[in-house]
Amino acid sequence: MGIEKFTDVKPSEYLYNPEILTRLDFSRSPATFSPKISAAQPGEEWLKVRPLQRSDYDKGFLQLLGQLTSVGNVSKKQFDERFTQMKQSGGYYVTVIEDTRVGRLIGAATLTVEQKFIHNCSLRGRLEDVVVNDTYRGKQLGKLIVVTVSLLAQEVGCYKMSLDCKDKLIKFYETLGYKMEAGNSNAMNMRFEDPS
């Protein structure tokens, strides 16, 4: 159930080492779960929290992201190339929740890690692309995936974790320990033309 021993799958198939997820201490999070769940014990024996795998193209990863934003028409070859680039460059921790009964991904979030010169050459984390399949809402999976990725940021040594969210989600993220910083609460973006 949850996180299991990963000896049956080649480590190269994962975007990052799955063993790191077994070290996450959910008691360090201000989030409350009722009933208690964690990455290791996600609440149902058919739920599995794990790193993104190369084979997840066929498990509906892009369709899941399509519930969040426009994905485009990404071929399996493009997915495989991007997976390889992300794995080789490091600093990408795409974490997913799988419904093992049907072999489909039902939740995901990404931690990207920035290497900084400030704060003694520290690391800064960013929470990106948080999504839970519409039909699985109400099982605390949104909280589970955000807390998992936030604790993962601590585990890899980030001094800070940031995110951008819609106004309606501010209260949700506050319950998970995120705070609006006075004088620094504006998320600003510059969007560019579609590169394709």
- For residue range 17-55, list pLDDT tens digits in order: 999 999 999 999 999 999 999 999 999 999 999 999 999
Predicted structure pTM score: 0.90
Mean of pLDDT values over 135-155: 95
CATH of 11-174, one of 3.40.630.30, 3.30.70.1450, 3.30.70.660, 3.30.470.10: 3.40.630.30
Mean of pLDDT values over 173-185: 89
Bigger pLDDT: 19 vs 192: 19
Percentage of the chain surpassing pLDDT 70? Answer: 92
User: What's the pLDDT score for residue 196?
Assistant: 59
Average pLDDT, the chain: 91
User: What's the pLDDT score for residue 189?
Assistant: 77
- 61, 111, 136, 180 alpha-carbon torsion, rounded to 10°: -140
- Closest C-alpha to 23, from 155, 130, 185, 121: 155
Residue 66 identity (one-letter amino acid): G
Angstrom distance (rounded) from CA 36 to CA 166: 27
Give backbone dihedrals phi and psi of 192, rounded to 5 degrees, phi first.
-115, 165
User: What's the pLDDT score for residue 184?
Assistant: 81
